[in-house]
Amino acid sequence: MTCEEFQLATLDEGQRGMSLEAAREHLVRCPDCAAFERNWQELRAQLQQIGVQEREVQAPSRVEMRLRQEFRTKHKTMRARRGAVITAWALAAAAILIVTIAWSNWSHQKSSSVAKRMSPAKQSVSAASLKAANVAPAGPELGEVLLASNNSEEFTLLPASMPGFLGDATVVHVQMQRGALGALGLTVNEEHAGDWIDVDLLLGDDGQPQAVRLAQSTN
């Protein structure tokens, strides 16, 4: 064994496989390698001592305190943020719900008020008075053409209207083009569709026209 081989094997702590017999023989023969071996063992022992001496060295407790403080702050903030997000979503949902309901009410009221505005001289009629006003039977029979009656005393029920719902009906007097009667389901003479006519509309509880009566024709 050469000095180089011995020193290499010593520093590698036997990882490269060293014959103990050969090493001992070399140590006896070579005082330099014996000194090297002694120095190495001494260094190793000192390193071990340092390791043992410092085994209990730890970070100061203030580090743990700071970290725990940071941990609490972070998680408190996260919890608060999560709560804020949930609240915001709940508020947004409530706001949407309120707006939807308000809009629905408003549109319903608007349609009612338009109907009211269209009839300055409105009057309420009871079911009994309607009977007295001689309401025509509901819906056309098969093959029959539904026409607004020219008789100013008679209301013609519009298609799909239900006489039973005319408990507290309102009569609205409006001026409209004859062609608009078509939209109510009545047959209109195309040649006179542009004529302006005075019409009484019988509005049901829901504000929808249920029956029509030609009050008097203009133009």
The DSSP 8-state label assigned to residue 150 in this structure reads S
**Structural tokens at position 163:** 């006489």
Least separation in angstroms between residue 100's CB and other proteins is: 37
When the beta carbons of 50 and 94 are compared against other proteins, the nearer one is: 50
| Shortest distance, position 54 Cβ to other proteins, whole Å | 6
Tokens at residue 195, please?
Answer: 């004529």
Q: Which is nearer to other proteins, 48 or 87 (CB)?
A: 48
Q: How many CA atoms lie within 13 A of 198 on its CB side?
A: 10
Return the structure tokens found at 24. Answer: 């001992």
Least Å distance, CB 74 to other proteins, is 6
Count of beta carbons in the 10 Å neighbourhood of residue 177: 15
Interacting residues with other proteins (CB under 8 A):
11-12, 15, 36, 39-40, 43-44, 46-54, 56-60, 63-64, 66-68, 70-72, 74-75, 78-79
C-alpha 34/C-alpha 32 separation (Å) is 5
Minimum separation from the CB atom of position 98 to other proteins (A): 35
Q: Which two tokens stand for residue 47?
A: 């390193």
| Residue (51 or 143) nearer to other proteins, CB | 51
Query: Which of 180, 175, 178, 172 lies closest to 202 in space, CA to CA?
Result: 172
Nearest-10 crossing angle of helices 3-11, 31-53? 10
Give min distance, CB of 38 to other proteins, in A. 11
Comparison of 20 and 59: residue with beta carbon closer to other proteins: 59
Q: How many Cβ atoms from other residues are within 10 Å of residue 27's Cβ?
A: 17
Residue 19 or residue 69: which is nearer to other proteins going by CB? 69
